[in-house]
Amino acid sequence: MEAWRVEVAVRPNLPDPAGKAAGAALRGAGLELQGKVRSKRGYLLGAELDRSQVEQFARDVLVDPVQEQFEILAPGEVVPPHTPRLSVLPLPGVTDPVAGSVQKAVVDSGLPSVAAGTYRAFEFDPANPAEGLWTTANECLANPAIQRVVADRVPLQLPGPGSQPDLDVQAIPLAGLDGDALVSVSVDGGLALDETEMRAIQDHFAASGRAPTRMELETLAQTWSEHCIHKTLTGKIRYGDQIIDNLMKTAIFQVTKTLDRDFCVSVFKDNAGVITFDDEDCVCIKVETHNHPSAIEPFGGAGTGVGGVIRDIMGTGLGAKPVASTDVFCFAPPNMPKDEVPAGCLPPQRVLEGVVSGVRDYGNPMGIPTVNGAVHFDEDFVGNPLVYVGNIGIMPKDKVEKQPNPGDSILVIGGRTGRDGIHGATFSSLELHTESETVSSGAVQIGDPITERKAMDAVLRIRDENLVSAVTDCGAGGFSSAVGEMAEGLGAEVELSDAPLKYEGLAPWEIWISEAQERMVLAIPAEHVARALEICEEEDSEAVTIGTFNDTGRLVIRYQGTVHADLDLAFMHDGIPAWERQATYTPAQLADPELAAETDCRQALLAVLSDFNVASKEWIIRQYDHEVQANSAGKPLVGVCEDGPADAAVLAPKLGSNRGVVLSNGLIPRYSKIDPAAMAECALDEAMRNLVAAGGDPEYTAILDNYCWGNCRKPEQLGGLVHASFALRDLALAYHTPFVSGKDSLNNEFNVGDRTIAIPGCILVSAMSVIPDVRRTMTTDLKRAGNQLVLVGRTRRELGGSVYWKTRGELGACVPRVDASYGKSILDGVYRAIQSKSVTAAHDLSEGGLGVTVAEMCIGGRLGADIDLDAVITDGVQRAEEILFSESQSRFLLEVPADRMADLEVNLHGLDFSTIGSVTEVDRLCVSQGGATVLSAEVDDLVHAFKHPLDLDGTMTQQGDR
């Protein structure tokens, strides 16, 4: 459809941030760009308007009268060719959230309602040859998964009314097909079902005497996908001479069942784990992965990941209110040389920047603070970056249980359904390869946080008026999973032609499995439907009923009355054949390096502080709103200059109450290269140390496990996972920490030619503690010169996988392990010490060991410290650098005023602890051994080493650091 174009640009003498950013991106990609890039925001408006209306609208609404100017192109008109320029448009079918607001503003301005679209245009200096511009711009100003670049030699158009949908029911005959033929049906349809599963489907339909329809096959593929039911972890695993029937049950659920903690309210059965908060409310937590979409389109993938996990919280029980987000990433190092990035992988820095801005541009508009996170770097994440997104919510105690009833209406609230995200669930169950970027674009989704925010406000009001019997979100598998899950044990009838669509032309099966974002599904008793719709209307959130729950045991899907699917729900949920997989674990054959002793540990400490895994994440943290909702009591950045790292977030989620939540995480993928069991234990210990250092109560803590692994069809991959799971189980039992939720992503391998890059198998452990008073929490920054520094725990020669050895190009073998009962007594002792106010600062020892911990505490307090390594309790560790950089677990460094030492000794009675030094007024960290100085560094130098490496645009280190 032809359209008016309005192009808006900042006035020539004013800064043009988007143009500047485009120029930097082009130059960063190696283009020798002449002159400045000028950016324009473009709007397409329906040709039904006349020029004076378009001009008036542009003047009133589209243009800032102080800052900007505009020009208008009539429908059919082309930009004069005197300037090299190009425009970036969303691909047809990709969500364009701004277009909706433009349409609204047109109507608000008293004009007739017309179609609208948006784009970005860039104009270049005529000195630039068009050819080079075109290629580089396609690479770095647009993502081919969601956008196209046009040279503007033809008029831009609005998408047309769309094609007629294909309404064919499409019976897919399976009768008589052999194994190979069944597999090709699965492959051709992108179903990700294997031969055994296809056979089960074949048999099931043979018994009912008909062929399955396309929609039925698609539904089964979604429901049976690894993404939705975790068939690896719930199937049978042959591991050595044992057979593990359901690893999830034996290693994870079993911990929760055995511990039987009374604060657990709803675990492993809903979208999130729910625990008691106070007499009135519960808190719930969920952490998801969104790895595959983020590998293809980092911005959209990460953003919709955040949106998805927020909906998980909105869809827990009868609806919970999200109060905080936590996000953890694993990337290849941002400085990875271009020629080491395999074909088909996006450059790591672009992935990092895209993911961070995706989280920012979803979380911030939702009004949910992002309070906690971690980033880990390793070359092996180049093909499969990991994006963990987590959210916690609060909900009344009487709204935790849900149960749809026969007769309830199926109400859909929020976004419209489009072709976005078709086959997301099955896509994420496959490995990525060089072509994934181009073939899988249908699986990429773009988020619209404001639509989700409106849906959230509506869902919570519907809950508060007691109008709802169940709610869940539309995630992977779309309606098919949401309605299918809610109908389990009941039955449902759905009329898909009632679902609001973004555009015409969707086949019924596409509507049914589309993963379009921002949709919630509610079961509403018939007598409350009118009121629920009224609330949605008030909240400006689109809502329709698309069917009814019943007690037939069948899921019947119609389109304009024609049946497209009639599935037995029992088969759908329980018909998947049991899996059996092989697992073997062979310990890695590694040795410790033989390094010469350091003569001066200063350089070594600066190198460790500057390692990406240790360096400050301030550049990322500050892009997230961590203050919205006014629930923040412990900040992500602490200390005199608010740039010291915190161990955990502290929240007071109920305004007016001091009761709080402490939120932390632990993740150490590098140890997995030596021993996955060590990786698992240390992740849990780190999460608990972080939590306790910030004032969390280790006896009132729930944890979550998030597995990301290589291809677990390979026995050695699965073996490592089993080995890690058992270690995690044993430590969680000893720590009294029940698992309340978890998730896994088990196909993180990237194939390039004949080479396979598998990620190091890793488990993210997230921990959440409920505490009576946020005013009894703790920060890491040193408070006052003269205070004592007390090291709790025992230092062993455990440098395998350490950052120190990494800075020397080594991995090593002596990886840290956790002594369960020792670790538990340390956690409890430090908690007691903090609660009795013996301590003025606390920080755990993790990556980079004692050296990094004391340096970070100095940075936070902008104070110095004198440390005597002879006072450190060790298992015979001799060398200064080994004491400084060993990563032994179960250790904390505490700052204690001299007059509180007696109390501290009472609280830590029976544990390993020693005073290793004191806080000093001079801005210098001094470390001595045997009377000689082994390290002396100015705090300013520590600050620079810590803050500089990940300050990607140089804005965090300008101020007085150097």
Q: Which residues are catalytic?
A: 227, 290
Does 61 interact with other proteins (rule: CB under 8 A)? Answer: yes
Piece of the chain touching other proteins by CB under 8 A; list 57-65, 277-285, 576-584, 817-825: 57-65
Residues 436 and 860: their CA atoms lie apart, in Å, by 44
Residues 370 and 635: their CA atoms lie apart, in Å, by 10
Sign of the Cα torsion 824, 827, 833, 834 reads negative
Nearer to other proteins, 136 or 632 (CB): 632
Does 178 interact with other proteins (rule: CB under 8 A)? Answer: no
Q: What is the 3-state secondary structure (H, E, C) of 613-625?
A: CCCCCHHHHCCCC
Does 379 interact with other proteins (rule: CB under 8 A)? Answer: no
Residues 72 and 372: their CA atoms lie apart, in Å, by 46
Beta 913-920 vs 892-896: how paired, if at all?
A: unpaired
- Rounded to a whole number of angstroms, the minimum distance from the CB of residue 17 to other proteins is 5
Token pair of 578, please? Answer: 């049991």
Does 101 interact with other proteins (rule: CB under 8 A)? Answer: yes
Closest to 284 in 3D by CA, of 402, 184, 110, 187: 402
Does 71 interact with other proteins (rule: CB under 8 A)? Answer: no
Piece of the chain touching other proteins by CB under 8 A; list 30-38, 48-56, 639-647, 785-793: 639-647
Piece of the chain touching other proteins by CB under 8 A; list 56-64, 138-146, 299-307, 895-903: 56-64
Of the CA atoms within 13 Å of residue 73, those in its CB half-sphere come to 19
Does 642 interact with other proteins (rule: CB under 8 A)? Answer: yes
Does 438 interact with other proteins (rule: CB under 8 A)? Answer: no
Instruction: Quote the radius of gyration of the chain (alpha carbons, Å).
Output: 29
Piece of the chain touching other proteins by CB under 8 A; list 363-371, 603-611, 720-728, 822-830: 363-371
- DSSP codes, 663-697: EEEE--GGGGGT-HHHHHHHHHHHHHHHHHHTT--
Piece of the chain touching other proteins by CB under 8 A; list 106-114, 588-596, 851-859, 911-919: 106-114
Piece of the chain touching other proteins by CB under 8 A; list 411-419, 559-567, 651-659, 851-859: 651-659
Q: Which neighbouring-strand residues pair with 322?
A: 393
- Rounded to a whole number of angstroms, the minimum distance from the CB of residue 623 to other proteins is 6
Token pair of 87, please? Answer: 């425009």
Sign of the Cα torsion 322, 326, 330, 335 reads positive
- Rounded to a whole number of angstroms, the minimum distance from the CB of residue 386 to other proteins is 24
Which amino acid is it at 154?
A: V
Q: Where are the alpha helices (DSSP H) in 72-211?
A: 97-108, 130-140, 179-188, 195-208
- Rounded to a whole number of angstroms, the minimum distance from the CB of residue 367 to other proteins is 3
Does 12 interact with other proteins (rule: CB under 8 A)? Answer: no
Number of residues that bind other proteins (CB under 8 A): 68
Residue from 20, 27, 249, 713 in contact with other proteins (CB under 8 A):
20
Nearer to other proteins, 628 or 752 (CB): 628
Decide: 150 and 119 in contact? Cβ < 8 Å: no
Piece of the chain touching other proteins by CB under 8 A; list 151-159, 256-264, 637-645, 940-948: 637-645
Decide: 509 and 422 in contact? Cβ < 8 Å: no
Decide: 85 and 152 in contact? Cβ < 8 Å: yes
Residue from 633, 662, 863, 937 in contact with other proteins (CB under 8 A):
633
Beta 924-929 vs 864-868: how paired, if at all?
A: parallel
Token pair of 899, please? Answer: 């007059």
Nearer to other proteins, 625 or 675 (CB): 625
Residue 954 burial (CB count, 10 A) = 9
Residue from 234, 623, 836, 928 in contact with other proteins (CB under 8 A):
623
Nearer to other proteins, 319 or 575 (CB): 319
**Residues numbered 744-763 forming contacts with other proteins, rule: CB under 8 A:** none
Query: In which element (H, E) is residue 414 found?
Result: strand 409-414
- Rounded to a whole number of angstroms, the minimum distance from the CB of residue 893 to other proteins is 16
Residue from 28, 112, 367, 406 in contact with other proteins (CB under 8 A):
367
Does 453 interact with other proteins (rule: CB under 8 A)? Answer: yes
Decide: 672 and 710 in contact? Cβ < 8 Å: no
**Measured CA distances, 787 to 232, 533, 644, 849 (Å):** 53, 62, 19, 21
Residue from 276, 417, 514, 629 in contact with other proteins (CB under 8 A):
629
**Residues numbered 664-723 forming contacts with other proteins, rule: CB under 8 A:** none
Does 628 interact with other proteins (rule: CB under 8 A)? Answer: yes
Residue from 777, 795, 853, 890 in contact with other proteins (CB under 8 A):
777
Residue from 85, 286, 416, 454 in contact with other proteins (CB under 8 A):
454
Token pair of 621, please? Answer: 């943290």
Piece of the chain touching other proteins by CB under 8 A; list 213-221, 283-291, 296-304, 649-657: 649-657
**Measured CA distances, 502 to 97, 440, 516 (Å):** 11, 21, 10
Does 17 interact with other proteins (rule: CB under 8 A)? Answer: yes
Of the CA atoms within 13 Å of residue 703, those in its CB half-sphere come to 36
- Rounded to a whole number of angstroms, the minimum distance from the CB of residue 335 to other proteins is 20
Residue from 154, 655, 902, 932 in contact with other proteins (CB under 8 A):
655
Does 280 interact with other proteins (rule: CB under 8 A)? Answer: no
Residue from 110, 126, 160, 786 in contact with other proteins (CB under 8 A):
110
Residues 892 and 894: their CA atoms lie apart, in Å, by 6
**Measured CA distances, 177 to 185, 522, 701 (Å):** 10, 40, 53
Residues 48 and 596: their CA atoms lie apart, in Å, by 78
Nearer to other proteins, 180 or 953 (CB): 953
Does 779 interact with other proteins (rule: CB under 8 A)? Answer: yes
Does 69 interact with other proteins (rule: CB under 8 A)? Answer: no
**Measured CA distances, 663 to 131, 167, 360, 373, 645 (Å):** 51, 49, 19, 10, 14
Nearer to other proteins, 656 or 876 (CB): 656
Beta 892-896 vs 762-771: how paired, if at all?
A: unpaired
Does 775 interact with other proteins (rule: CB under 8 A)? Answer: yes
Residue from 108, 580, 870, 875 in contact with other proteins (CB under 8 A):
108
Does 659 interact with other proteins (rule: CB under 8 A)? Answer: no
Residue from 65, 80, 209, 930 in contact with other proteins (CB under 8 A):
65
Residue from 227, 783, 806, 947 in contact with other proteins (CB under 8 A):
783
Does 593 interact with other proteins (rule: CB under 8 A)? Answer: no
Does 432 interact with other proteins (rule: CB under 8 A)? Answer: no
Nearer to other proteins, 238 or 622 (CB): 622
Residue from 32, 64, 504, 875 in contact with other proteins (CB under 8 A):
64
- Rounded to a whole number of angstroms, the minimum distance from the CB of residue 710 to other proteins is 36
Closest to 384 in 3D by CA, of 761, 704, 949, 672: 761
Q: What is the 3-state secondary structure (H, E, C) of 216-268?
A: HHHHHHHHCCHHHHCHHHHCEEEECCEEEECHHHHHHHHHHHHHCCCCEEECC
Does 627 interact with other proteins (rule: CB under 8 A)? Answer: yes
User: What residue ranges bind other proteins (CB under 8 A)?
Assistant: 14-15, 17, 20-21, 60-62, 64-67, 97-98, 100-102, 104-105, 108-110, 360, 364-367, 448-450, 453-454, 538-540, 621-630, 632-635, 638-640, 642, 652, 655-656, 658, 774-775, 777-779, 781, 783, 953, 955, 958-959
